[in-house]
Structure formats: structure tokens, C-alpha cells
Amino acid sequence: MEQPNGPALRAIGTTAAEFERDLVSNLYFERGTTMESASAQDVYQSLAVTVRDRLVDRRARTATAHQAANPRCVYYLSAEYMLGRQLRQNLQYTGTEEVARDVLKGLGVSLDEIADFDVEPSLGNGGLGRLAACLLDALATADIPAVGYGIRYDLGLFRQAIVDGAQVERPDDWAFDGSPWEFPQQDDRQAVGFYGRVEVEAGRRRWIPEETVLGEPSHMLVPGYGTQTVNIVRLWRARADSDAFNLADFAAGRSAEAVQEVLRSENISKVLYPADSTEFGRELRLKQQYFLVSCSLWDIVRRFHLRNSDWTVFADKTVIQLNDTHPALAVPELMRLLVDEYELDWDTAWSITRRTFAYTCHTLLPEALETWPVALFERLLPRHLEIVYAINQTHLDEVESRFPGDGDLRRRLSLIQEEPERRIRMAHLAVVGSHAVNGVAELHSRLLAETTLADFARLWPERFRNVTNGVSPRRFLRLANPRLAALISERLGGEGWLTDLDQLRGLAALAGDSEFQRRWRVVKRDNKLDLAAYVRAATGVVLDPDALCDVHVKRFHEYKRQLLKLLHVITLHDRLRADPGADVPRTVVFAGKAAPSYHAVKRIIQLINGVAKVVNADPAVAGRLTVVFLPDYNVTRAELIVPAADLSEQISLAGKEASGTGNMKLALNGAVTVGTLDGANIELRDRVGADNFFLFGVDAACAAEVRRGDYRPGEIAGSDPELAAALAAIADGRYGAGFGDVLDTLLGRDEYLTLADYRAYLDAQDAAAAAWRDPARWTAMSIRNTAHCGFFSADRTVADYRDRIWHADPVPVPPR
């Protein structure tokens, strides 16, 4: 039982009586109501606080243990966090799920209904944001002192609605009803400057900002599983000064003018990735980046000074992981703090900075490597520009001394791109300012060093390393798929696998066991019934729980090739109309969001919905093929789809997907992958075995070669009758008129070699269908996928970061 920290605090216990007392008390004192008159929202909020309170004592003890140990702390800087819903996680991590269920039942309320009020914070976009959340979970589970820093976006990315088949972006006001998991800390506000000028005072350069915005932190608890550690994620919200509201304007009836300054400040944390098609949007993005970095570094330095006074140990106590380039401004900002504010000399400051930062790159696409116009940067952050230039000078001097006279190399390695306009290369800034640079899968790390960052890898080979991504087995198996988790625990004799995922290997011996197989199939079918119920309510489409559930779920991007999957669906539609036995009964589920300004993929979403409408209404294929586009993909939706999936589509063009993590989540839940040799698919196939994976398509080297050569997609289309028929069906308007633009991209450049891989992909799908026809064979493949997924635990990923980059020791938190 957890005890209070002093006589003034009430005891927090785990018995049903204590839980009920606290729940009713929270209802009374926090919501001002009683069980008799409480709304469901009241009960939800009080339940959440009751569960949260059970973590607070652990958090307090964690902070005490960290203060005493003065360890090296990991600070994770990320523009995105996809934390997922918190209620069920925290019930599980505090061991109070059963107690809560019973107590609520006694009060006449169902936990499952109340749990539906839990809203997932909309603070992320895709794999990068979910990876951040999985790493925080695994860090706490490993007792490593860590803080995640991010922005508390009011409206997050966007809520995706489908209107007439097209994506429509709506604001995602995730905290509209109040967010019980946050601890706001108004008294810890931090001023962040923008614009202004640089002055010289007593021989030192100093930035005098012209505009100031307040960063207001709130934190959420990040509990470890099976341990006492509770770390935090600290999120910053932009606020205007309390006298920013212009009372005179308001009094004169100019209400819009009255709030102008308030809006200008608060816009900074309004949305994730404001559209960058306007100058306003671009400037806002850069402001956000600096806002995150400035607030977070201030907090990191404050934490350092709580326990230390000597700057020379800063890097021994601090490692800052840059999650992609969005927080790369932290490099010049730390230099500014050290040199301008704390008056360290440049060389000492630079050595501290480099030893402090590490950078994770998540892409290979050159267009995804951020750059900022020097002119904008200079206007917004004049002192930082000077610092970037100074860093660049030292850096280019080093290049010159190592490779004398190589002007081309200097140009390529410079932090500044000169043509066609002068821009700052953020990835270069991150690499130059870090002691370690990592990719997120073996292939990705190798390609980074050979292509995208090749010159840097030549300059500093020792900085480059790989850390293959991983996923939290707590979130994506225990929470998302309780049925499978229970079956696994029953057979493995306990839940040890939850923190030691390699134990799943013990399932391999059961792959051929017919009774185990039967139970495995029952779990899948029940999960499909859950998905079917949701899909029916959300879209009206009826799913067959016995059909092969074939899922392509992830952010929309042309390289991820949702369109290749769709061409397969169209071909299946044709085949089934001619021969109802041409394929196994199949449900194809698409889900994912497209960036609002990415027109080409938004058209693909429209085409998917067009195909779904026609296929689902076609009596000729009824019961054989169903297509759904499930709107608003996020962690909550993933938790529903992933456990129900049989076939996992990981079909990006080889050499484009850095890693993927959906591939891991799906395989862990027993989905068999149809995939290319891309990202972590390669490592997945190595582990689950080639016989339990449907491989197809060109590899990365071959793809690069095809692209360099004389690739003619039109000829491929002309020589493959089924492909020609599928394209003709789109052209003829069978799935809606006016998709000529989609065809033009395919038949024109076909950047992502969709047509080149079409035939191999269909063959792989036929092989999958053949395997599905033999349930014993399929189920064995499915079990082997789960059994050999241990490597893809985020716990292993964190152990790799710890050993290869962070060198941070665990600090166990003593139980009471």
C-alpha cells in the first residue's frame, strides 16, 4: 500500500474501499457533485483523478531519488507526442483496473462506458510522434531519469472527416472537456523572445528581443511498467502577458483589435505543423520551433542547477536527444545561453554543446530535410543567426583542414545552402552540434551514411550509428489486445514477457498445436467483431469477421504506396466479377491522414473512397470483397485495428521508409506482413523467417538503379493486361469521374515505382490468399510472427540508445 508523504496528506491505497472513498471524494470536492447527480463526464473526470493520484506518490519519490542520485538525465525534445489514451494505461500501471471496475459497478456505472470519455491528446502526426511516446514509456520502465519536452497544441494536427469521399480537416479540440491528466504550472512560466536586435555590452554580444511570449508548462505523468519510476512529459503552451488584452480598443467596439496581441502570442501553440504555404505559416512554424527549444533548455538548465553548480559537468549530467530536426535550434540556443548569458568562452561552450546533443534522423527523403530562409531566420532570431554563422565558420575550417582545397565538399557540408536562395540546413546544424547521429533501422542508418548524410559520415564516421525502432508491448499488446495478452500469459505462465519481450519465443513451440491455434483464431475473430462493430457505427459498412482482414494503416504519403494497394483492390474487383472464387473473402481497411497541403495524396484518399463505394455496393462481389476507409486514424483507432488484422501492408518503395513501426505493432499482434525490403521490414523478416512473410518488389539498390535509368511506366502498363484494365477502370470513371491526375502521375514519372512493383505485389497477394485458405498454415505463420517479435520492443530500443548514445544509468526508485 502506498503511504502519504506526511501527516497532512491522505493515504492513497489500492483496496476497493479506499478507491471508492477517493472516487466519491474527488467527485464531491473536484466536481462539486455526488454520485446521484453526477454526469458521465463527472464520473470520468473523477475516476481519472483517482487513478492519477495513485501515481503522484511514485512521482514524488522518483523526483527525490533523482535529486539524491544526481544522475545523467535524458531529455527528449520532440515536436510530436502521440501518447494515446491515458485512462486504461494508468489503471493497468497502477494495478487498479479490477478494483475500479468493481467499484464503478457497485455504483451502477460501467467502466467500459466511462473509459470511452477518455480522449487521446492530439499532439502528433505519425510514427515519429508515436515513437517518442513508446520511448518515454520504455525509459520509465527501465528506471532511466528522463523528461520529454514538447508543445501543448490546443488543436493538435486535425480531426479528419470524410465528406463526399474527400478528406476535410476539422479542429481537434482534444482538451475541450478538460484534460484530467495534466498538471498545469502557471507559476513556472518562461519568457521567450523573438525579433529585435543584437547589442554589444561591455564587449559581449547580447540579444534584445522585440517581442516576448510566455511559455506555460504543464506536465503529464509517464509511469514505468512494473516499477516505481514515474517520469514526466512537459508540454509548453504559449500565453500572452496578462495585460495584452487592449481594453481601450474593446471599449471602443474594436473587439478584433482588442485581442490581436493575445492571438499573436497564443497562435504559437495553436496547431501542430501550421500550413507552410504562406509567409505567416512559415514564420509561425519557425516560431514554434524556437518556442519549444527556448522553454525546454531553460528548464533543463534550471534542473541542472538544482543539483550542480559547475558547467564542466553539464554534459555528464545531461543528454538531449533531438527527435528529428524540428528542435535543432536547441544547438544555437544552448550556445547563446552558455556564451551570452553565462559568459563561458566559445570553445568551452562548444565542447559542452556537442557532448550534450544527439540527433535522430527519421527520413531519407531529401525534401523532408528542413531548411529555413536566412532572411526569415535573421528577422526572427538575429543573435542565433550570428551563432549559426560562427558555428559554420569553425566547422568549415575543420573541413578545410581535413580535406584541403575541396570547395565542393565545403559547399555540400556548409550549414548554409547558397542556391537558389540562402537557407539554413537544419539537419546539418543537428549533425554538427551532436556527438551521435542515428538512423532508425539498419537499412536506414546505412543509407543515411551512404547517401543523405554521406559527406558527414566521411568526415565523422564515429558519430554515426543505428538504433532500430521499437514499440511498447504494454500499449500495443497488453492494452490494445487484452484477449491475446491473456492467452499468451496463460501459456507462458505469467506476464514476464511484458518487460522481457523475447520470452514470446516460447510461443513458437505452440505454432502447430491445433488447440492453441483454435484459441488463437478465436481471439482474432473476437477482435474482428470489435472492429466490425466500430466500423459499422462509424461508416455503416458491414464487415465479415471470417474474412481476411487486410490493413494498410499509416500516414498518407505517395512513397508508402496506398495507391499500389488500391490497384490491387481494383484488380481483385475485376477478377471477382469474372470468378467469385478468384480470391479469399477479404476486407481491406485503409486509415491515415494526409498533410492538408499534400494534394496528390488527398486525391488518393478520394479514389479509395470512390472504390470503396462502388465495390461495397456491387452485388457481384458481396461477401467476397469489402473496402473501408476508417476516418481519423490515431493511436486509439490503431489499438482497434491492429489486433484485428491478419495481413499487414508494408509496401513502401524500398529505400524510402526509414523504419516503420506499424509493421512491428501488426506483426506483434499476429498479422503476417506483405512487404518490401524497406526500413525495418528487413529486420522483421530476418526474425520471423522468410516463410512467415510475403516478400515482393525491387530492393533499394535496384529501385535507385531503375530511377537512374530509362524507366517507362507506360510500357509496363501496356504489357500487363490486368494492370491496363485497372488503370482503364479508373480512366473510365468506374470509381468516380475525374481521376485523370492520379493516372497522369502513375503513367508520367511514377516517382515511387508503383507500376514497376505491381505484378510482383499481386503475386505476393496471391501467395497470401493461398496460405489463408489453409487455416492451420496461416495460424502457424501468425503465431510465429508474434513469437519472434521480441526484438521490436521499445525496451530493446531504449537499451540500445542507453548503451550506444546516452550512457545514462538507471536510478531505481525505492518502494514505500
The residues that touch ligand H2P, with contacts defined as CB under 6 A, are 125-128, 131, 362-363, 440, 469, 554-555, 657-661, 679
Q: Specify whether the CB–CB gap between 170 and 159 falls below 8 A.
A: yes
Catalytic residue among 66, 317, 444, 665: 665
C-alpha closest to that of 95 among 3, 13, 9: 13
C-beta closer to ligand H2P: residue 371 or 659 = 659
Rounded least distance, CB 725 to ligand H2P, Å: 32
- Nearest approach, Cβ of residue 756 and ligand H2P (Å): 21
Helix (H, G, I), strand (E, B) or coil at 676: coil
Task: Specify the residue, 231 or 663, whose C-beta has the smaller distance to ligand H2P.
Answer: 663
Amino acid at 441: A
Nearer to ligand H2P, 294 or 661 (CB): 661
Other beta carbons within 10 Å of 450: 11
**652 secondary structure, DSSP code:** P
Comparing CA positions, the residue from 498, 496, 439, 500 lying closest to residue 469 is: 439
565 is catalytic: no
C-alpha cell at 654: 524500398
Pick the catalytic residue from 59, 219, 239, 362: 362
Q: Which is nearer to ligand H2P, 270 or 555 (CB)?
A: 555
Give the other-Cβ count within 10 Å of 489's Cβ: 15
The contacts found for 182-187 with CB under 8 angstroms, 24 or more apart, are: 182/152, 182/218, 182/219, 182/220, 182/235, 183/218, 183/219, 183/220, 183/221, 184/216, 184/217, 184/218, 185/216, 185/217, 185/218, 185/219, 186/216
Q: How many CB atoms lie within 10 A of CB 636?
A: 16
Residue 665 annotated in active site? yes
Amino acid at 710: D
Residues whose CB is less than 8 angstroms from the CB of residue 242 and which lie 6 or more positions away in sequence, other chains included: none
Choice between 131 and 621, CB closer to ligand H2P: 131
Instruction: Find, among 48, 43, 21, the residue nearest to 31 by Cα.
Output: 43
Annotated active-site residue in 152, 555, 561, 802: 555
- List the beta bridge partners of residue 58: none
CA distance 191 to 642: 43
Q: Which is nearer to ligand H2P, 555 or 602 (CB)?
A: 555
Is 362 known to be catalytic? yes
Least spacing, CB of residue 356 vs ligand H2P, in Å: 22
Catalytic choice (554, 624, 656, 802): 554
Contact 315, 76 (CB under 8 A): no
Q: Which of 88, 270, 560, 603 is catalytic?
A: 560
Between 128 and 674, whose beta carbon lies closer to ligand H2P? 128
Cβ proximity to ligand H2P, 659 vs 785, nearer residue: 659
Q: Which of 229, 318, 468, 661 is catalytic?
A: 661
* CA 810 to chain centroid: 25
Structural contact between residues 190 and 201, judged by C-beta atoms closer than 8 angstroms: no
Q: Taking the mean position of all CA atoms in its chain, how far away is CA 455?
A: 29
**DSSP letter for each residue of 628-677:** EE-SS-SHHHHHHHGGG-SEEEE-PPTTT-S--SHHHHHHHTTPEEEE-S
Rounded least distance, CB 676 to ligand H2P, Å: 13
DSSP track, 562-585 = HHHHHHHHHHHHHHHHH-TTSS--
Q: Is 560 a catalytic residue?
A: yes
State the nearest-atom distance from the C-beta of 125 to ligand H2P, in Å: 6
Determine the Cα–Cα distance for residues 594 and 558; give it in Å rounded to an integer. 10
Q: How far is the CB of 733 from ligand H2P (least distance, A)?
A: 32
Q: Which is nearer to ligand H2P, 384 or 665 (CB)?
A: 665
**How far apart are CB 471 and ligand H2P at their closest, in Å?**
10
* Residue found under cell 466500430: 534
| Residue 267 and residue 284 in contact, taking contact as beta carbons nearer than 8 Å | yes
Q: Helices in 501-598 by DSSP H: which ranges?
A: 514-539, 562-578
Task: Give catalytic residues, as residue numbers.
Answer: 362, 554-555, 560, 661, 665
